[in-house]
Amino acid sequence: MSDAPPVRSRPIQPLPDLLVSQIAAGEVVERPASVVKELVENALDAGATRVEVRIDEGGMRRIAVADDGWGIPAAELPLALRRHATSKIISLAELERVATLGFRGEALASIAAVARVRLTSRTRDDPHAILLDSFDGALEPAAGRAGTTVEVIDLYSATPARRKFLRSAPTESAHCADALRRVALAHPRVAFSLVVDGRTTLAWPAGDWIGRALAGLGEASAEAHRVLEREVGPLRLRGLLGLPTAARGRADRQFAFVNGRFVRDRLLTHAARQAYADLLHGDRHPSYAIFLAIDPALVDVNVHPAKTEVRFRDAQAVHRALMQAIEDSVRAGAAEHPALREPGAGSSGAHDESGEAGAPGAVPGSLADLARTGSARAWTGGWRPSNLPSASQSALALAFGAPGPRVGEPATHEGNAQPDDGVAWRDPAAVAAVQPTVPDAAQTPPLGFAIGQVHGVYILAQNARGLVIVDMHAAHERVVFERLKAALDEGGSPMQALLVPASFRADPLEVRVVEESAEALAVLGLDVSVLAPGLLAVRGVPAALADADPASLARSVIGELREIGSSRALAEQRNAMLATMACHAAVRAHRRLSVPEMNALLRDMENTAGADQCNHGRPTWIQIGMGDLDGWFLRGR
Q: Is residue 484 a part of any domain in this protein?
A: no
Q: Is the pLDDT of residue 509 over 60?
A: yes
**Are 519 and 567 contacting, i.e. CB atoms less than 8 angstroms apart?**
yes
Q: What is the pLDDT of residue 281?
A: 65
Of 572, 587, 607, nearest to 278 (Cα)? 572
Residue 479 has pLDDT above 90, yes or no: no
Q: Which residue has the higher pLDDT, 235 or 6?
A: 235
Higher per-residue confidence, 92 vs 600:
600
Is residue 366 included in any domain, yes or no?
A: no
Q: What is the 3-state secondary structure (H, E, C) of 542-574?
A: EHHHCCCCHHHHHHHHHHHHHHHCCHHHHHHCH
Higher pLDDT among residues 188 and 431, named by residue = 188
Q: What is the mean pLDDT of residues 527-556?
A: 85
264-277 pLDDT, tens digit per residue, is 888 888 888 888 87
| pLDDT above 70 for 407 | no
> Region 222-241: what's the mean pLDDT?
86
Q: Where residue 113 falls among pLDDT bands split at 50, 70, 90?
A: confident
Average pLDDT of the residues in 219-234: 82
Q: What is the CATH number of the domain that holds 62?
A: 3.30.565.10
Q: What is the mean pLDDT of residues 37-56?
A: 92
Q: What is the pLDDT of residue 273?
A: 86
Same domain, 172 and 214: no
Round to whole Å and give the CA distance between 268 and 292: 10
Range 390-403 average pLDDT: 36
Kindly tell me if the per-residue pLDDT of 398 is higher than 70: no
pLDDT digits (tens, 9 = 90+) for 298-337: 888 767 666 778 888 888 888 889 998 988 888 766 667 7
pLDDT in the model for residue 93: 74
CATH number where 526 lies: 3.30.1370.100
403, pLDDT greater than 70: no
Q: Are residues 89 and 109 in the same domain?
A: yes
CA distances from 190 to 211, 241, 383, 387, 424 (A): 13, 22, 43, 50, 63
Q: What is the pLDDT of residue 341?
A: 60
The residue among 330, 365, 396 that closes a domain is 330
Boundary residue ending a domain (299, 330, 361)? 330
The pLDDT assigned to 21 comes to 63
pTM value is 0.64
With a cut of 80, say whether residue 164 has pLDDT above it.
no
Instruction: Using the predicted structure, report yes or no on whether residue 427 has a pLDDT greater than 70.
Output: no
The answer on pLDDT for 206 being more than 80 is yes
List 450's β-bridge partners, or say none. 461
Tell me which range, 65-79, 241-255, 541-555, is most confidently predicted by mean pLDDT. Answer: 65-79
The pLDDT value given to residue 153: 92
Residue 590 has pLDDT above 80, yes or no: no
Q: Is the pLDDT of residue 20 over 70?
A: no
Directed axis angle between helix 107-114 and helix 17-28, to 10°?
Answer: 110
Instruction: Decide which of 478 and 5 is more confident.
Output: 478
Residue 526 confidence (pLDDT) above 50: yes
More confident call, 172 vs 144: 172
Domain that holds residue 501: 493-585
Same domain, 539 and 601: no
Least confident of 119-123, 133-137, 344-348: 344-348
Q: Where among 185, 204, 223 does a domain terminate?
A: 204
- For residue 104, pLDDT over 70 is answered with no
The answer to whether 488 touches 574, Cβ cutoff 8 Å, is yes
The reply to whether 522 falls in a domain is yes
Q: If we measure between CA atoms, which residue out of 576, 584, 589, 581 comes closest to residue 617?
A: 576
User: Do residues 193 and 146 share a domain?
Assistant: yes
Specify whether 306 is located in the same domain as 437: no
Q: What is the pLDDT of residue 114?
A: 83
Task: Report how far residue 89's alpha carbon sits from residue 103's, in angstroms, rounded to the nearest whole number.
Answer: 6
Q: Inform me whether the pLDDT recorded for 105 exceeds 80.
A: no
Does residue 214 share a domain with residue 165?
Answer: no
Whether the per-residue pLDDT at 108 is higher than 70: the answer is: yes
Mean pLDDT for 115-144 is 88
Residues in the chain: 637
Residue 569 pLDDT = 41
Count of domains observed in the chain? 4
Residue 579 and residue 451 share a domain: no
pLDDT of 5? 63
Residue 11 domain-assigned (yes or no): no
Question: What percent of the chain is helix, strand and coil (3-state, nearest 5)?
Answer: 35, 20, 45
Is 344 part of any domain?
A: no
The answer to whether residues 229 and 323 belong to one domain is: yes
At residue 354, the pLDDT reads 34
The pLDDT-based confidence of 195 (bands split at 50, 70, 90) is very high
pLDDT of 564 above 60 = no
Mean pLDDT of the chain: 75
Examine residue 421 and state whether it is found in any structural domain, yes or no.
yes
CATH number where 431 lies: 3.30.1540.20
pLDDT band of 225, cuts 50, 70, 90:
confident
pLDDT band at 48 (very low <50, low <70, confident <90, very high): very high
Supply the pLDDT for residue 89. Answer: 66
* Residue 452: per-residue pLDDT: 92
Residue 385 has pLDDT above 60, yes or no: no
> At residue 483, does pLDDT exceed 60?
yes
Query: Which range is least confidently modeled, 21-25, 414-418, 538-542?
Result: 414-418
Instruction: Give the CATH number of the domain where residue 292 resides.
Output: 3.30.230.10
Residues 36 and 185 in one domain: yes
Domain shared by 402 and 312, yes or no: no
Instruction: Let me know how many helices (H) and strands (E) the chain has, helices first.
Output: 20, 22
Nearest to 332 by CA among 255, 444, 241: 241
Largest CA distance in the chain: 105
pLDDT band at 360; cut points 50, 70, 90: very low
Same domain, 509 and 623: no
Whether 75 shows a pLDDT value over 70: the answer reads yes
Q: Which residue has the higher pLDDT, 619 or 575?
A: 619
pLDDT, residue 388, reads 36
Q: Are residues 462 and 519 in the same domain?
A: no
Does residue 187 form part of some domain? yes
Q: Is the pLDDT reported for residue 287 higher than 80?
A: yes
Question: Is there a contact between 225 and 217 (Cβ–Cβ < 8 Å)?
Answer: yes
- Asked whether residue 460 carries a pLDDT value surpassing 90, the answer given is yes
User: Does residue 134 lie within any of the structural domains?
Assistant: yes
Question: How confident is the model at residue 575, as a pLDDT?
Answer: 65
